[in-house]
Structure 1
Amino acid sequence: MAARIYKPAQNVMQQGKGASADWVLEYLPAKRRVIEPLMGWTSSADTRRQVRINFATKDEAVAFAKKNGIAFRLEEPPATKLRPKSYAWNFKYGRPDRWTH
């Protein structure tokens, strides 16, 4: 019974980071998925894969895992580098790259 604690990536279709503020605890698969011979669907007897618990902070998620005796793997999000941007830079005289319209 192992789990993974991580911070999900932000939605690529939106600019804000609202949905990526929470930390998530998900159980790792304990059994392989099996292809059902009649319909061809994939199924599994492992119901823990359906459990996904959200936490406000990383410390809360780690404390929950330790309290319940769950072995976990903590995945830190990569550091993002913000580059300052200006709209006026699009019209700057002498830009290093060409105008692409």
Structure 2
Amino acid sequence: MPTARIFQRPKNAMQSGKHRTDSWQLEFEPSEPKRPDPLTGWAGSGDTRDQLRLFFPTAEAAIAHCEREGFGYTVVPAPQKTLKLQSYADNFK
């Protein structure tokens, strides 16, 4: 039985936008390790579920999908959002 990981994507640290941070993502855990291709040297495996990512509006919808399809799952809680409040003058202390 394949196992999946359900998580909410964090905000990109390099940009100020919050695109797709409110949706929940489902990724499958790899069933076999990656190995280098002898010709190109790229890492790959025969597991095609590694390429699949599903997006859901809520964590409950993702859990319902896993239970309906018979997948095992683990839910990673959403990261805690903290604000670092400081003024511009704090840069020169």
TM-score after normalising by structure 2: 0.84
Runs ≥4 residues deviating over 6 A: none
SS for the counterpart of 2:61 is helix
| Alignment map for 1:41-80 (pairs within 5 Å) | 41-80=42-81
| Alignment map for 1:9-28 (pairs within 5 Å) | 9-28=10-29
Structure 2, unaligned runs of 5 or more: none
Deviation at 1:78, TM superposition (A): 2.3
2:3–2:71 contact (8 Å) kept in structure 1: yes
Structure 1, unaligned runs of 5 or more: 92-96
Counting matched residue pairs gives 92
Aligned to 1:99: 92
2:5–2:73 contact (8 Å) kept in structure 1: yes
Indicate the percent of aligned positions where both proteins have the same amino acid.
33
Cα separation, partners in 2 of 1:24 and 1:84, compared to 1, 3 Å: same
SS for the counterpart of 2:63 is helix
Structure of greater relative contact order (alpha carbons < 8 Å, 6+ residues apart) = 2
The AA in structure 1 aligned to 2:23 is D
